[in-house]
Every structure is written in structure tokens, then in C-alpha cells.
Structure 1
């Protein structure tokens, strides 16, 4: 698979192809929702040789799928529930990502589990982690054969813990266990899945909302009516099968399909909020790259080392407001800080907080279909696939780690009556940038010398682009100034802004600052100081005039102001109201979707627990 660029031109071509469909010449599959599961579903269907359309009401991963703990893990908490099958499945997917599917995006990450009671905790937690490690050793054959991707766990004495993570409270903890999971930039994973699907021929379009469903006669869904939010244009797209992957938006999105049918079926999803904060790396002392995990009375506390900051979370609270406007409140932030300070040597304060994010987990509730056991749904502990209406399949639940299994289940289920002889190839196929990654990694020292970069920058670039790094280097070879770091965000090169527009489908300033880069979360100014330089690079490529530049700047600045105000509120309702009145992109030809057939999606949970 040769990676193909995503940009404004490819989006227009995708919309034209979808608009040209008819009941006689439909797409094979239309996927509604561009979160991790929707993008993975489009990729899965494309690997089967099907003609696929993928639409997302906002940007790829803008919902839950860019607001997770950014971990790829088996889920230690499920061992407490004795759900060994689920843990083994997640560990298998973790190792596939590390070794075959996305070795450039997913990296091993050791975690410290500190002990206060040396005998009991060491025995209890140690036995659980031993089982956790053992579940990765289950034998496989043929395509299921795999090798271990991370080291086994080890025990640390009080002295060993102090050396490994000096930033923890030395008096409280008497030792620890160190085990491995993995981490990923979740937004980049979603984008790479979408680009991989596009590279196999899928027609992908962001800022494109499904506002209604098409019906063949009275019952069967045969496509959807789409609205292009960039132009206001509406048109019909026909498909043999339509798959809804809308995460916490599922309830609202499926109402249109069930309207007038009298059906009581459907996926029932509740939202639970998890928040994270970021603080500077130098505020927490650790030897190398290592995280911390402990339990709290309500959730799990993670201290997660990102490249330039620490991410600390999470919470687990019911969300009753509009699902498109989650935000951390002052109470949420104080809760995370208080629990972090219980385990750390030095106290963190609100002044240390650089950024925040909140994500909503889609928590599945039992449906009448599941309870009746009529066979029209495939249910696991983590996700459910079911027929919402003839021709329309819905999938919800799950978590980031098992996105591939969810996607395969969704396409298998939808294709049962149309193209069931087509097998998924996603277990065997690397994502864009994964094939040839090892050869590029072997050249890291030469690249650093040729471009005057240190080893850390080259490693970071390989972790973002993999074997697609050559495309970025070509931009720099054509224009040397693109090889310089951004003045106010030196972790990113100027070339990465242009690359995001020309190859990664960025269409708005927020796309560049919140997901193609993560400045929204990584720097205290939330990226505002870098806006002018980024606009200088991106505006001409996107064809923006002076008026549009002003609108983009104003929309992003207004959203940052609303986010900061939300972080000072006491209640979810206040925070949601502030964000619902501010949008990170300028409104052009239509209002942003609210309770419509396809919301910004991300059908994977924010993974608050291990």
C-alpha cells in the first residue's frame, strides 16, 4: 500500500464520487463517523476490495478519539473481573500494533505500580501482573502466531523505586512493580487509519454530516443524505450497506433511522466523562520514560509521560449535558491534582497546569434485543454490533486498543448478506507509514546529521510519520526554511504545518493546533503564540483570503477563551454552556451539527483504567 495524500482536493473528489452514486450504482459501504472505529471500519472494508465512503461531521477524531489517555493496553482492571478472554484479546491487539500494524505510532511504555504494604501488595499485584504477562504467551498458529512485544514485569525495592522514579513520595512507598503497556498519539492513529483507508481507494470527507437516511421502499436503508459544511451543499449517497460508528452520539444519530418505524431496538449508550491535565516534564522527576498507575476511590490515576509534558488523569463521572461540549471543570482539575499530590514528592498547583482535555466514554447499556437474545446483535463485554434497520449496522462501546477487532466485527456483520466472502486483511496489513519503518529507523543517525537535528527530534518525527517521513523531508529539501522549528513551539517543524495541510487533510486552524499538532494541550498559551506563524505557512495552501484568516484566528482564540472559562466553573452544565457557544472553527454555510444523524465521532472509550 503506497500512502496517498489527504487534502482539500481529495476531499472534493470524494464528495463528487459519492454524489455520483445511484441506486443502480451504489457504494458497497458508507461509514458514518470518523473516530477511531469509523476510520478503522473504512480501512477494514477497503482491505476487502470494497468501494467505501467515510464521512465525519467535523475533523477525524475530533470527538472522543483524540481525548483518551493515549494508551494501548490490555486492561489490568478486567483481571479483577476475571474476564481473561477480554484481557487476552486486548493484549493481542496491543502486541499487533507494536510489532506489525503500527510500530511507528505505538511505543512500549513501562509503568510503575507503587506499594505501601510490601508483603500483601507485592504478592497480590504481582500475581495479577504475572497473569497479565502470561496471557500474551498464549500459543497461536498461522496468521495468529505472534511474538512478545514488551519485556516481562519486574519488582523494585524501596531503593530501586527511588532510583527509577525519584519524583514519588519516598516516605509513603516501600517498593513497586514495573510492567509494560504502550502509548500512542490517539489523534494521529485515527488520521493514519483514515489515510490508510483512502490509500486503498476509500472516499473520505471531513466536515461532512449525514443529515438523513435514504430508504428503498419503506424499510431498508440504502444510503444517506449528506451536508457539506464547507459549502452548505446537500446531496444523496447510495450504499449497499451503511455502518454507523458514532460513539456517544449513537443515540441521537440512530433516532433518524428509527423514526416512524415503531422500532424499540437500537444501541443504548450513556456518556461518562474522563479528564486529563498536562504539566511540564520538569515538574515530576523520573529516570527515563516511565509512567505511574495507582487506584483512587473513583477511578485510576495515571501519570503518563508524553514527549514534552506529563499527562495526568483521569476521572469517571456521569455526563448529562450535550455530548459535543465536554470540558474539565475546576472540581475535576482539583480532583486530579489532589490525587497526584498524594503520590508525588512535590506538590503541583493550578499554576502548573498547561492544558486540559475531556473525553466522553460510550458506556453500553443492555438493549431489549440483547436481553431477548433474538440473534440480531453481536455483543461482547466491550462493544456491540447490531442491525439498527435493514441495511444499517450500528457499532458502539469498546476502547482504543481493540479498535481493529471492532471494525472487523462491524464489517463482518454488515456484509453478511452482501459480500460475506470478502475477508478482512487488517491483522496482516501495516497502516500507512508502518511498512518500511524499520529501514527508516536504521537511517536515524544519518538523517540527524544531514538536517542538523538531534537524535530526539528524529525519533519524534519517526514516531509521527514512520516511513512517510520521506514526504516531509522532500518539503524541506524544496524549501530550507521549512526545516526550522516553529518559533514559539520548537517541538514542531514548520514543515509539519505544510505537511498537515497537503498530506493530512487539515482544513482549519483548530485542526492544526489540536490534532495534527497537540499545542492545544502541550503549551500554556494553548498554541495562540504560534498562530501567526502557522497561518503564514498554511493560509496560501488552503486558499484563505484576509477575511478568512481573521475568521479562523478569531474562532480559535474564542474557543481557547471559552475552554479556560470552563475550567474555572464548578459544574458540567456551566462548562458545557460555555463551550457550546464557542466553536474552534468559523461558521460558514451551516451551523455545526447538533443532535443530527452524524455527529463528530469516536466510538472508543477514553481508557481511564488499566
Structure 2
């Protein structure tokens, strides 16, 4: 049996935080934080992870969903970063998370004669040689006719030929959550809705943190040899709370994506398009959507809820419509999401030029911070963070082994894929449903479907979001740490970006299912629905505003699902 992050585990985790002493306390439940917890736990260290909101609730649920080497970083001559990222992509595809990370093809349309094909081909050859073609096909050159057959949606005058290459993609929020569950499986205490409100000190060193349960307001001290700050765009705020100056500053860059139905862009492949500022991806998402993104602009407002503006959306539409025979309109958009990249502050004023390298530093005795980097290299960042913490630990910790530790659901996944038809017959499901479940849960599929034993109605789809089964909602609350309606609709599932209603039409049905697991009263259930629907309204309104300030004001007006969060601004 795997370790559950359900309601019973939550109370046990609080008791352990209060009574045990840890080697590491990791602050932040994004992919770097959960990766650090997994790295430390598998080295045999005693580790706890606390997150003020939900797993992946910040940047790690709002990325471009790609595990990629970063083709454009070759132009910036960041060869080491590309090689490192391609190695990580390979590990995910083959060993660590084949159930979650999948190959995806991209067409690069060529627009210039003579020089562009050899220039791009040489870059892709370098990419393939560095590891880009190790377990996926290498580059393939296409004539104009061949490229149009692959992507009929393109305007005929938008290209003179094309090159196809492969990368990989994943549901970032699910992947982050599964890393956290794997860390818990190996002994880490993982607790969300648990906010750091103070740093503990012994003489001149940090000796732990004081945390607050934002669901009920109780507080406790957590003792640790080292605290690791993995809070991404909140890094500077946490450094301020600790009363120490950081060795680096983090700058937030807003990236906005839109989601449109698959039939609006007729194509067998994703696309990567060069723009004046950077590149634009058109990414296949599940079987029936495209993700189009991203923007790259400075953001200095609310870090928890970055808002997409009308201008951001217009920019994405204009860029992709430059090449489409049938333009996309605002009416085609199913979902919009905005995330913040935690870039290391540099000399350049253009965020797209800032390095995606990461930095790690021992900012005070007993306190380590890590920031920068990119989602693909989270495992390397995590190992570096634990290495940096080792100087404050008694004895010498073992080396990182997470390149050999598959995430929960990976073991046995390929065999179950081959048995999908048999599994479908056994559970009375269509084979495509089973494949959908396998690509979300891997070999944990039996544990998921066990939630429907004696409750056959749970194997039916949600009324207003039929891509998902009711049992998936129940499992999100019973095993995956979901505590609020928002956690289920925005992260355990992606209903909030995959349906035009953005989850509002199924909020009551999902709240009823979650409430059964979490013991919600009728009043709590109604409150959860009200808060979630207010979030949807605020996001829609923010997306009609032309500028960041007005959009931020609209989005920030919605109530927090976790109303017990403390504003720590100005403390420390």
C-alpha cells in the first residue's frame, strides 16, 4: 500500500511535526520543494515539507507542461543547461515517470529560404546529439507540402517548409503531487495548508520554523538542523521573514497560456513558432485541446494569483493567428492560466533573456535557499539543495539517488498498458477510460478504482466534466491531499482550464463528492462552492482588463479558499 495524503495522514503529520526533530525542513510544495523532500528522504534523512497552500499551487501548476531541453537556450549558448535538461527528460520518459511524461512532436515552420533550414538543422542536430533523440525520433525535414499535410491548419504563405522534432510533456500539477506522494512513501512528513510564520533560532543559527495550520489556526514549532527555502517567487519574502539577506534576488516573470479545443487547429503535431520577443508553443493537451503560450513580462503584484489581461490574451491570439488559415477568436478560448517564473534577477531588463540556471546558497547557518532553474531540471536542483544543506548536518549524508527512484505509479505501468482491455472489461469501463486513468495514476489505478468498490456510481463521469470520473474526485480527497474544491478543480483535475465553464458548472457535484471524504457540513460545502465560483468570476473579469494593475485588482477581490493564511508582509 502507498502512503495516503488523506485526512487521517494529516493529523498524524501534525503530531510528527510537533514532536520529532528533523534533519531538514523544506518550505514550499512546488516541484523543487517536493523534489528536495524526496531527495533527502531517499538519502536516509529525516525530512518534513510544509506548504502554505496546496501542492503545486503556484508556478508548478501553471507551466507550459513541457519536459524539454530548451531548444532556444542553444542560441543563448547555454549548452550545459540543455544537456542537463535533456538527460532529465530522458530519465522521466524511460525510468522515473513514464506514466506521466509523454513524447510530443513539434513542427518548426521555416519562413526564410537558403539560410534558415541549415541554421535550424544544425541546432537540432546538436540538440539530438546532446540526447534529444535518445528515446524519441530525431529531426525530420519536410517540404512545404509535407509540412502542410502534417499541419493543415497553417496558411500556405506562412511557411516554405518545416522541420519536425520531439520533446516531452506532462501534467505539471499531477507530476508535482506524485513527487510529493513518493517523498511521503519514503518517510517524509508532507503537510499542506501549513504556513511558516516565524523562524526559530539558537544563538546565531536557524534551528527550525514555527508553523500555522491555516485550516484551524493552531501553531507549533518544528525543530530542524537545516531549513531549505524552496518557495520560488516567494524566496525573497521568506528571506525577509528569516531576517537575513539572500545571496540572490528572484524576479517574477508572468507567463500566460490559453487553452482552445483541438478541432480549432487541424494538426497532427504541436508547433513552435518564432516571435519577435521569444518563441510561441502550440502544445497538444490531452486528446481534445491545445495549449498556446506563452508571454514573458515582469510581474510585481500579487504573487499568489497572477492575472492574465486582455492584452496578454490578444498578444497570444495575434501571434498564433499570424500562421493559421482560420484565425482563433476570443470565443474559441476554453481556459486561461497565468504563472510566474522565478528568474534570478540579472542585469538585463528583458525577462526572456534572464538565465534559466538555478542558484543555491547557504544564506545563514541552518538556512539554505534555492531559486531559478526550470521545471525540467527540478531533480538536479533538489539534489544541489540537499548537498548545500549537508554542511549543517551531523555526519556526511549519502549521495543523491533519485535518478534511480521511480515515482509512485511508474513500476508496472507498461505491463498494465498492455492489459488495458482486460482491465476495462474487469471494471466495466471503456478501454479509453482505462488508458486515461493509467496516464494519470499509472500502476496506482487499482487503488483508485478500489474507491468505487460497492459504489458503482463512482465509475460514472462527472455531469459537466465528462472527461473525469467521479472516483477520481473521491481519490483526490482521500489519497492526494486535496483539501478544497479549488485543489480538485484546478490541480488534481484540470477542469478549470479544460471547460468553458471553468469548473463552475460541476462545482456543486464535486463539492458533494469531496465533502463525503473530508466530512464537510452542508454549510462548508456551500461555502466551498461560493468561494470557487467567486474565483472563476474574478478570473474572467481580470481577463477583460487591459493592464496588470486593473487585472490584479479584479483577481485579488476573490476570497481565498484558505482563509486562514496570514499576511507576513512587513514581518521579520
**TM-score, normalised on structure 2?**
0.96
Partner of 1:388: 363
Do the aligned partners of 2:359 and 2:371 also contact (CA within 8 Å) in 1?
yes
TM-aligned CA deviation for residue 71 of structure 1: 0.3
Unpaired stretches in structure 2, ≥5 consecutive residues: 348-354
1:74-113, CA deviations, whole angstroms, 9 ceiling, x for partnerless residues? 0111111222111110000000000001110000001000
Q: Which residue of 2 aligns with 1:283?
A: 264
User: In 2, distance between residues paired with 1:424 and 1:505?
Assistant: 26
For structure 1, which segment, 113-122 or 36-45, has the greater mean C-alpha deviation from structure 2 after superposition? 113-122
Does residue 299 in structure 1 map to residue 278 in structure 2?
Answer: yes
Instruction: Tell me the alpha carbon deviations over residues 552-583 of structure 1, each in whole angstroms, 9 at most, x when there is no partner.
Output: 01100111111001000111111112222213
Aligned: 1:114 with 2:109 = yes
Name the counterpart of 2:87.
Answer: 92
Q: How many Å separate the matches in 2 of 1:597 and 1:410?
A: 26
1:167 aligned onto 2:161 = no
Among 145, 153, 175, the alignment partner of 1:189 is: 175
Of residues 310, 335, 344 in structure 1, which corresponds to 2:290?
Answer: 310
Q: Structure 2: how far apart are the matches of 1:540 and 1:429?
A: 34
1:401 lines up with 2:373 in the alignment: no
Matched, 1:102 2:97: yes
SS of the residue 2:255 aligns to: strand
1:394 Cα deviation from its structure 2 partner = 0.3
Change (3 A) 1:238 1:464: same
How far apart are residue 451 of structure 1 and its match? 3.5
What is aligned with 1:17? 16
Match of 1:331, SS state, is: helix
Aligned to 2:351: none
Measure, in 1, the Cα distance between the counterparts of 2:167 and 2:465.
Answer: 29
Return the offset for 1:454.
Answer: 3.7
Q: Distance in 1 between matches of 2:326 and 2:299?
A: 32
Q: Residues of 2 paired with 1:416 and 1:584: CA distance? A: 39
How far residue 586 of structure 1 moved from its aligned partner, in angstroms, is 5.5
Query: Is the 1:353–1:524 Cα contact (8 Å) retained in structure 2?
Result: yes
Aligned to 1:233: 218
User: Which residue is 1:551 aligned to?
Assistant: 527
Distance 1:75 1:201, change over 3 A: same
* Cα gap change, 1:100 to 1:249, in 2 (>3 Å): same
Partner of 1:340: 320
CA contact (8 A) 1:118 1:175 kept: no
Structure 1 equivalent of residue 350 of structure 2: none
Quick one: higher RCO (CA 8 Å, sep 6+), 1 or 2?
1
Q: 1:526 aligns with which of 498, 502, 505?
A: 502
Q: In the TM superposition, what whole-angstrom CA distance separates every residue of 1:355-380 from its partner, at most 9, and x where no partner exists?
A: 1011111110259xxxxxxxxxxxx9
What residue number does 2:306 align with?
326
Q: Residue 436 in 1 paired to residue 435 in 2?
A: no
* 1:149 is the counterpart of 2:135: yes
Residue pairs, 1:358-437, within 5 angstroms: 358-365=338-345, 382-418=357-393, 419-437=395-413
Deviation at 1:381, TM superposition (A): 5.8
- CA distance in 2 between counterparts of 1:188 and 1:163 reads 34
Question: Is 2:483 the partner of 1:507?
Answer: yes
Tell me, what secondary structure is at the counterpart of 1:477? coil
CA distance in 1, matches of 2:39, 2:565: 32
1:64 to partner: Cα distance:
0.6
Q: Shift of the alpha carbon at 1:325?
A: 2.4
Number of paired residues? 563
1:32 aligns with 2:27: yes
User: 1:421 offset after TM fit, Å?
Assistant: 3.3
Contact 2:104 2:169 in 1 (8 A): yes
**CA, structure 1 residues 152+198, in 2 after alignment: closer, same or farther (shift >3 Å)?**
same
Q: Is the 8 A contact 2:507 2:532 kept in 1?
A: no
Runs of 5+ consecutive residues of structure 1 not aligned to the other structure: 138-146, 368-379, 599-610
Q: Distance in 2 between matches of 1:115 and 1:440?
A: 40
Say whether the 8 Å CA contact 2:270–2:284 is kept in structure 1. Answer: yes
Equivalent position SS for 2:408? coil
Closer, same or farther: CA 427–90 of 1 in aligned 2, 3 Å: same
Q: In structure 2, do the counterparts of structure 1 residues 9 and 168 end up closer, same or farther at CA, with 3 Å as the change threshold? A: same
**Deviation string, structure 1 residues 1-55 (Cα, Å, up to 9, x no partner):** x53111121121111111113xxxx211100000000000001001011111100
Structure 2 residue aligned with 1:144? none
Shift of 1:592: 4.9
Query: Secondary structure at 2:142's aligned position in 1?
Result: strand
- Residue of structure 1 aligned with 2:472, choices 496, 500, 505: 496
Contact 1:254 1:597 in 2 (8 A): no
Contact 1:258 1:389 in 2 (8 A): no
Cα distance in 1 for partners of 2:35, 2:246 equals: 25
Q: What is the CA–CA distance in structure 2 between the aligned matches of 1:349 and 1:526, rounded to whole Å?
A: 18
Match of 1:354 in 2: 334
Cα RMSD of the aligned pairs, angstroms, is 1.7
> 1:253·1:596 contact (CA, 8 Å) conserved in 2?
no
Distance in 2 (CA, whole Å) between partners of 1:45 and 1:401 is: 19
Q: Whole-Å Cα distance in 1 between the matches of residues 396 and 565 of structure 2?
A: 39
**Counterpart secondary structure, 1:427:** helix
